[in-house]
Chain A
Amino acid sequence: MGDTLKTLLMIAWLLPLFGFAVEILWGPRGDRRTTRWPAWMAVACIGSGFLCSLSALLIWGSGTDWAVLQSHDSHDAGHAAPSDTHHEGVEPQEHPAHESAQQNPIRPTAPVRANDAARWHLTTAADGHASDAHQNAHTAAGHTDSPSDSAASSHGQVPLVYHGTIYRLAAFGSLILSIDYYIDSLTLVMFTMVTLIATCIHLFAIGYMSDELTDEYVDHFVHTSDGGHLHRQGRFYRFFAFLSLFCFSMLGLVLAGNIFQVFIFWELVGICSYLLIGFYTERHSASTAANKAFIMNRVGDFGFLIGLMVIWTWFGTFQFSDLFASLPRDDAGRVVTGEYGEVALALPDGSSKQIPYTLLVVAGLGVFAGCIGKSAQFPLQTWLPDAMEGPTPVSALVHSATMVAAGVYLTGRFYPMFVPEVLLVIAYIGAVTLFLAATIAVVATDIKKVLAYSTISQLGYMVLGLGVFGWAAGLFHLITHAFFKSLMFLCSGSVIHGCHHEQEMTRMGGLRHRMPITAFTMLVGVIAIAGLSIPGLIAFSGYHSKDAIVATALAFIQANPGHFLLFLLPLLTAGITAFYMFRLWFMTFAGEPRDAHVYDHAHESPWIMTLPLLILAPLAAFCATGGEDGLLYRLLAGSEPNYVAAGVSSTASGLTLPGHHAIHEVHSTAGTWALVAAIAGTLLAWVLYGTKAVRVEDMKRQMAGLHRFLTHKWYFDELYDALFVQPVHQVARFFAWIDRTLIDGIVHFAARLTVLASRWDRLFDELFIDGLVNLVGRATFSVGRSFHVVQTGRLRQYVMFIVVGVVALFAVLFTTFPR
């Protein structure tokens, strides 16, 4: 079965890449520019991808006899587990000295390694034959455990995972980097979700982008220097090429079997996002937003890289399966630490290594920093609203449903590597983000901006859910949110298209008469995100998933009362969410038209755009039916790391992470609270925007300060500009100055010094050395000259000199030497 799944998912993954290549290479030639074939090509690729993913999911399900659905009732397991969990949780406190790696039986935490006999694993044969991953069938029977068998529920509940290598990137001794795959139910659900939503959005985009099907596109947002609007060739093919490339990258990210590969596709979705945000390259705001998105993501990726460095240095592998198995956890799910806070890693090659606990925290925070960037969490949230400069289908696919959820996905995927301290940070980041973004959404008037802030806020919910130990709850919300948010973005796209690129809600109103399908499907999405329900009768997806998160948060603060904000903020924000979403709906679709011109020209979108809405609406409403006993939740929960269900009590830093049982106990309480908040928010929105009971303008004036603060998005852009952007440019100028003035100054000084020295040298040469030589010359000359007197040439005189000389010589000889 593993090979079949791998093949199917790889086809689904690579088809969009093929589509991209064809579209980008053949698209721009000749009259193909103005035909729809690139779109159909892209739809065919991603549509086939969806079919592959869906069949993979079904094959996986039937191959396991849908074990995840029949397996333990989560509550029963929860009931069975706690008794011994508490027991184990208490004991170490009584005998702290016993808490050591030797005494607590180390249980591999990872989904993958727990039971080697019943495992697929990559053969260590070095040549990277992926399919060598051989199967030791881990049949469903192996882990359908009965509630009474608590041992099985804590040990045997190992999720089914297929993993292996596709090809090798590099090998240095024992260090191996490769392109891997890792398939569990989370992968399959993500694949199906991404391909399905992408197919819908591709279809929608055929209609939305159809005005690009021309050689004379007029961009009304760009003014040329002669005062007119910009005319350019249409770029229909390019849009679909980029969308295809994005799908390829996103699916690669989900399929990745190691964290390094995730990083690769992480950056690739980043660049696709850059290309799509900046699709209207002529608009300065668009290209600036694209740059901002990519650079802010890189800030997060810098952290990611640090995390990778730590992991690589200490674990020597990036493979999820090896990493998860390396971290020792005791039976209660705690990471086993030694006497000095070090953790003895059980490395894949069988050796052991002591890693300081702090470095585990650094690694976790580092990887999560990447998630902060990608999922637009506080403090890197400011790029996402700007990213709305891209065409609306892009916002729907990339900036709400899939790519931005990648951060949440990675947090879930990499969960076993996050120690409780990191989880706490994750929870707080999520809580701050969800509140902050929701407050800004309340005052936003651009329909897409409202949705953008709502996306940030909902991502905050997911992150919070993961942080408070609601693994499945967070990912559950990821999937439901993907459906209802993509639906709402497409609806907003339909509105924008129908209103001829008007995005300001202050100029809309009453549009439900003009575009009934859009209005109705949007309402479905709004109800879903607001989390409204009639208990016991009907509940849309958002109700279930948000409930799961809020319940986890409540269980978390009951165990750790100091962190009460982690419950208070999401509860409060549940109300705010309902308020701003209904405000959006009322302002757009209900009431009187605010701008007659917009209203008169508004029209319902063509079938190719409303069809995706009609497909997505039921999914958005009912994909989570059954809540935590439903299909979707169970599928996801099947991949939950096995120590999560029972919870982890009394970690080293004193946190208690709630198990399923504790969460279940408070579920109905939390659900009620959340519902009350949502209903309150809805009512408030209705009063303010649905009726004319209160004049909103007056309220704005009364709270002008707060309003300004919120419309300026808490002044984050200004703050970052002053804190980072300007200083960076100043430092850059300073370094350039150093180069030109200081370093080159020294070089030039040295050069001038050399010239100066050589001048002196010349002077020295001319004056001193030449002077000396000349002096000698002159002296010789004058000596010679003085002999001139005697050198007469007359023989008699010479003979006389000789005679006188000889006589003198003899005189000297005879006088000085005695006989």
Chain B
Amino acid sequence: MNPEVLLSLIIFAPAVGAFFLAFMDGRAVDQLRGFTLFTTIVTFGLSILLWVQFDSSVSGIQMAVELPWIPSWNIWYRLGVDGISLPLVLLTGLVSMLAAVASWSINRLHKGYFILFLLLESGMMGVFLALDFFLFYVFWEVMLLPMYFLIGIWGGPRKEYAAIKFFLFTLAGSILMLIAMLMLYFQTGGQEHSFNLIELARVASGTSEHLTQGLTPSMQITAFILLFIGFAIKMPVVPVHTWLPDAHVEAPTPISMILAGVLLKMGGYGIIRIAFPLCPWGTQAAAWVLVAIGAISIIYGAFAALAQTDFKRLVAYSSVSHMGYVLIGLAVWKMNEASQTVNADMWNMGISGAMFQMIAHGISSSGMFFMVGVIYDRVHHRNLNEFGGLTARMPLYSGLSAGIFFAGLGLPGLCGFIGEVFVVLSSWNFSHVLAVIAASGVILTAGYILWALQRVYLGPEYKGPHAEDITPISTREATVGAVLLALAIILGVFPNLLFSMMNASITELVTHMQTGYEHAAAAVQNLQAMR
């Protein structure tokens, strides 16, 4: 298919679906569900088509789309895909589809829910496919509003609090990103200003043909910090993570799945797509802090998870812990005195591991949230100390849950292991201490996951309320769980499926960062020489 059509379709097919939903009868619940599911399946199918057309041996952007949008500001409708965005597009399509299946449990205001749900998917796809900073920002904000309402209307008891907290945190990040965006727009370029992310990256490495002037090294650092904080909130990392447990606990199950499966990845994606290539000098300056924050997140999140009594909160904190690995993997960029990357392959491995971890976490954590949702739908509580004995009552459900939780635990043969261990292996090259801290996470992770499994699934009998409502898992629910578990196994056994998709792009990124750093280092030397 023509790339312009394909990419735009992937983004707007859900929105078109939402448009049609608006004219459907709000009482025909099954039709609404069916149509939403159909739309998400079409979108996922389109993203598969994108994968088929994708050539993983090409390192740069493929299937680029460029249409003028607001010419007076040089804002374009720019889309494209490379090895970094493609896996995330696929993940978004998949998780949205499964979340649509999980949305059967929504029991009020169906029409509004499904419209917002589809708009949300459009926004997420847009974020991953946009290559114009302005467009990216627009999609970033577009995705924010449906999420706010989805939590705020269909959420649990403290939904307003959670929704506002989510909204304000993200908005604070957005504003920092906006400042950085304007800074990049006005401070780079010379004759012409641009929001084109690819050109802005080229400016940073001094290879742009259109834009002549780049950020000074010190401004790069400022821009990087602004961008990083913006994305770090989304990721989230300690200490800007506290919106996450609240949002997760209050959000309905399918929205939790999307939140954990896709939205958190936007933080990581933003860092790797925008913050890194646009500010190589800033990245290097902040690398140690980034890795340290990642290590702290791992440990902090794991400890906090250990102390939770709410099942969903525990899973939420496990997300904080797991996303710490992503940050570490991205940032293990070690420089020597001569401005050369030390063991560039190792950093390549770190970034690849981080990307893998994002996908793996998208699968395992959305699965975990789904599994919590399944039992919550039956007994309407999440108190870890009031479960037990589910293996006997719901054997298939317990088996699937165990598999998915083991994926979260980082068991070899399942997806979580590859991401974690690759990141950890690549980190010794950067810093011994931080590597050891990161590695120690494996003990705590095993601790909180196994303890939770023991309290929920094992034991002689169920201890909580609504024992009579415990029914075996339905086929619909089992399908969602089985698909996620199967993917976890496939990726865990054949990780090269994913790595080979990303390899060329990540290798190019590593080279680009090196050139960008040298470019900035030369600028610094010039400045010193002038003094």
Contact indicator A172/B352 (Cβ below 8 Å): yes
Contact indicator A233/B450 (Cβ below 8 Å): no
Q: In the complex the two chains form, what is the Cα distance from A318 to B413 in whole Å? A: 18
B283 close to A (CB within 8 Å): no
Given contacts A233-B392, A291-B450, contact A732 B458 (CB under 8 A): no
Contact indicator B412/A268 (Cβ below 8 Å): yes
Contacts of B457 in A (CB 8 A): 281
Contacts of B242 in A (CB 8 A): 739, 743-744, 747
Contact indicator B458/A278 (Cβ below 8 Å): yes
Contacts of B459 in A (CB 8 A): 281-282, 284, 287
Contact indicator A313/B428 (Cβ below 8 Å): yes
Q: In the complex the two chains form, what is the Cα distance from A230 to B503 in whole Å? A: 54
A728 close to B (CB within 8 Å): yes
Contacts of B346 in A (CB 8 A): 172, 175, 313
Range class of the B interface residue count: 35 or more
B62 close to A (CB within 8 Å): no
Task: Identify the interface centre among A232, A290, A728: most chain B CB within 10 Å of its CB.
Answer: A728
Contacts of A24 in B (CB 8 A): 399
Interface of B: prevailing SS: helix
Contact of A729 among B307, B352, B442 (CB under 8 A): B307
A174 close to B (CB within 8 Å): yes
Contact indicator B428/A310 (Cβ below 8 Å): yes
Q: In the complex the two chains form, what is the Cα distance from A224 to B463 in whole Å? A: 11
Chain A residue nearest to B320 in the complex (CB): A739
Contact indicator B165/A267 (Cβ below 8 Å): no
Q: In the complex the two chains form, what is the Cα distance from A24 to B168 in whole Å? A: 48
Contact of B440 among A302, A309, A312 (CB under 8 A): A302
Contacts of A732 in B (CB 8 A): 303-307
Contacts of B424 in A (CB 8 A): 305, 309
Contacts of A246 in B (CB 8 A): none
Task: Identify the interface centre among B165, B343, B424, B446: most chain A CB within 10 Å of its CB.
Answer: B446
Given contacts A302-B442, A308-B425, contact A222 B451 (CB under 8 A): no
B507 close to A (CB within 8 Å): yes
Chain B residue nearest to A305 in the complex (CB): B439
A120 close to B (CB within 8 Å): no
B481-522 vs A, Cβ < 8 Å mask (1 yes, 0 no): 000000000000011100100010001000000000000000
Contacts of A28 in B (CB 8 A): 395
Chain B residue nearest to A309 in the complex (CB): B428
A301 close to B (CB within 8 Å): yes
B427-465 vs A, Cβ < 8 Å mask (1 yes, 0 no): 111000001100110111011001100100111110000
B192 close to A (CB within 8 Å): no
Task: Identify the interface centre among B349, B406, B427: most chain A CB within 10 Å of its CB.
Answer: B349
Contact indicator B412/A287 (Cβ below 8 Å): no
A225 close to B (CB within 8 Å): yes
Contacts of A295 in B (CB 8 A): 443, 446-447, 450
B157 close to A (CB within 8 Å): no
Given contacts A170-B422, A287-B459, A298-B446, contact A736 B411 (CB under 8 A): no
Q: In the complex the two chains form, what is the Cα distance from A265 to B493 in whole Å? A: 12
Contact indicator A747/B425 (Cβ below 8 Å): no
Q: In the complex the two chains form, what is the Cα distance from A734 to B305 in whole Å? A: 11
Contact indicator A282/B392 (Cβ below 8 Å): yes
A125 close to B (CB within 8 Å): no
A721-760 vs B, Cβ < 8 Å mask (1 yes, 0 no): 0000000110111111001000110010001000000000
A174-187 vs B, Cβ < 8 Å mask (1 yes, 0 no): 11000000000000
Contact indicator A168/B412 (Cβ below 8 Å): no
Chain A residue nearest to B343 in the complex (CB): A313
Contact indicator B461/A224 (Cβ below 8 Å): yes
Minimum distance in angstroms from A137 CB to a CB of chain B: 32
Interface set of A (CB-CB < 8 Å, partner B): 24, 28, 167-175, 222-225, 230, 232-233, 263-265, 267-268, 271, 274, 278, 281-284, 287-288, 290-291, 294-295, 298-299, 301-302, 305-306, 308-310, 312-313, 316, 728-729, 731-736, 739, 743-744, 747, 751
The 3 closest A-B pairs by CB, nearest first: A173-B345, A309-B428, A736-B307
Chosen A-B contacts, 13 in total, with CB atoms closer than 8 Å, are A167-B494, A170-B496, A173-B348, A267-B411, A284-B460, A288-B454, A302-B442, A306-B435, A309-B427, A312-B428, A313-B346, A731-B303, A735-B303
